[in-house]
Amino acid sequence: MAAVTQPSFQSTFSPGSNLELQKSSACCSCQEKWIGYKCNCYFISNEVKTWEESKKYCASQNSSLFHLKREDEFQYFRNLSKDVYWIGLLYDETRDAWIWEDGSILSNNL
């Protein structure tokens, strides 16, 4: 699982163990073992957890599952690892839509 943070915002997703970790991005400083990318900090975990377990772990770390907002984020993290990881997206059958943890609907352009 991985976590994203802006100065005090965080979310999560999870690539593999062969990542080159950066301690900071160009505009913010990240905690040890976090990846800095475009003013966000991302935590990558190699632990195997269910989606719900990952969500709870992130909450315990004052973060949330990864919330993809821009195409460049997708490309950057897709290039880090070909593994599959949890993100903060779930299907809401009552709304017949993919919903992010914060309640927003997945953008058609992503």
Q: pLDDT tens-digit profile of 7-65?
A: 333 333 334 333 444 444 456 788 888 888 888 888 878 888 999 999 998 898 888 89
d(CA 12, CA 5): 9
* pLDDT confidence of residue 61: 80
What confidence tens digit (pLDDT) does each residue in 28-39 have? Answer: 788 888 888 888
- Using the predicted structure, report yes or no on whether residue 5 has a pLDDT greater than 50: no
pTM: 0.65
CATH number of the domain at 2-100, out of 3.40.640.10, 3.40.50.2300, 3.75.10.10, 3.10.100.10?
3.10.100.10
For residue 107, pLDDT beyond 80: yes
Query: Which pLDDT score, from 0 to 100, does residue 87 have?
Result: 87
The amino acid occupying position 9 is F
Q: Model confidence at 110, in pLDDT bands (50, 70, 90)?
A: confident
Parse the chain into domains and list their residue ranges: 2-100
Question: Would you state the pLDDT for residue 14?
Answer: 38
Query: 């992503």: which residue's tokens?
Result: 110
CA of residue 107 relative to chain centroid, distance: 16
